[in-house]
Amino acid sequence: MHTYLDFEKPIAELEGKIKELRHVSASGEEINIADEIGRLQNKVERLLQNTYSKLTPWQKTLVARHPERPHTVNYIENLIEDFTPLAGDRLYGEDCAIIGGLGRFEGHSVVVMGHEKGHTTETRVKHNFGMARPEGYRKAQRLMDMAERFNLPIVTFVDTAGAFPGADAEERGQSEAIARSIEKCLQVKVPFTSIIIGEGGSGGAIAIACGNDVFMLEHSVYSVISPEGCASILWRSNDYTESAADALNITAQDLHRLGVIDDVIAEPLGGAHRSHETTFASVRSVLEKSIREQLQHDGGVLKAKRREKFLAMGRLSAA
């Protein structure tokens, strides 16, 4: 059963009516309801178009967190052939919040990794809701080293509320692991493409997102802190969560305008969760173009371009 967000209640009601009419039609009753179903379906599409063209930053955050939205495992299953997962950081242990390994994309051998939140209670616990500990980021560094050693493009899928804030993670050097992972992203001399597919939260996201090309899905978000976290710090109240989302410039459209990301990947009408296959096709097209263009450059040039890209974000305009 499809999960509807609060602002989708009118859409839910219409689609509920369509479902009821189809049930009546399937029961064999001699009632011609095809025209009515078609009329309601057109109304749903118009309502979806109107609703999703005017989403607030907070509503986009809810869409980015939608439980039926495709996750990293789904992108790997549908885009990467012959995927071989690699586990462990060779220092402490395995962290299932970040999955990664070797595979082939459109004929190119690649190293692919990303945050995995899980879809069921069991998998969410296994993957710690996509919140990695230090060993997850050290595993990412190991995979990036491997990519450079064998001259393989790196592809990362970003989807996390942030790095795990537990005491055990801090004891094992969470901040150092994230900093080293960011440093490794900026040092490798291979093509590097990052895609924010859901939430891009804080250092936990940027630790594997410093690519030559950084893309965001249309209804994903990317920020130094969640709207809830910002509201709790600035106003000491969750009542201001929507105001925080408005002020943070967290949407793909805002970040593209500000030059933080390179482009926005369109989602199907109603969000990526409504049509996984359409979403995979869009991501495949953008990713193929990104890798093909980067492969035309020498590794040293790619590293220099990546470094300049992120340094430019910190420069103040002379105006």
3-state SS string for 128-177: HHHCCCHHHHHHHHHHHHHHHHCCCCEEEEEEECCCCCCHHHHHCCHHHH
Residues 17 and 73 in one domain: no
How many other CB atoms sit within 10 Å of the CB of residue 315? 7
pLDDT score at 319: 45
Q: What is the distance between the alpha carbons of residues 266 and 161, in angstroms, rounded to a whole number? A: 22
How many other CB atoms sit within 10 Å of the CB of residue 166? 13
pLDDT score at 313: 85
Taking Cα atoms as reference points, which of 288, 304, 284, 310 lies closest to residue 153? 288
Report mean pLDDT in 10-residue bins for the chain, 319 residues: 85 83 62 74 88 94 96 97 95 95 96 96 95 96 97 97 93 95 96 97 94 97 93 92 94 94 95 96 97 96 94 67
Residues 180 and 211 in one domain: yes
Q: Is residue 318 part of a domain?
A: no
Q: Is residue 217 part of a domain?
A: yes
Residues 48 and 181 in one domain: no
Q: Is residue 233 part of a domain?
A: yes
Instruction: Let me know the angle formed at the C-alpha of 146 by 141 and 150, rounded to the nearest 5 degrees.
Output: 150
Please tell me the total number of residues recorded for the chain in this structure: 319
Domain interval for residue 100: 61-313
At 88 the three-state DSSP class reads coil
**Domain count along the chain:** 2
The H or E element that residue 158 is part of is strand 154-160
pLDDT score at 318: 46
Which two tokens mark 185? Answer: 């992203």
The H or E element that residue 288 is part of is helix 276-294
Residues 137 and 48 in one domain: no
For the entire predicted model, the pTM comes to: 0.91
Residues 170 and 303 in one domain: yes
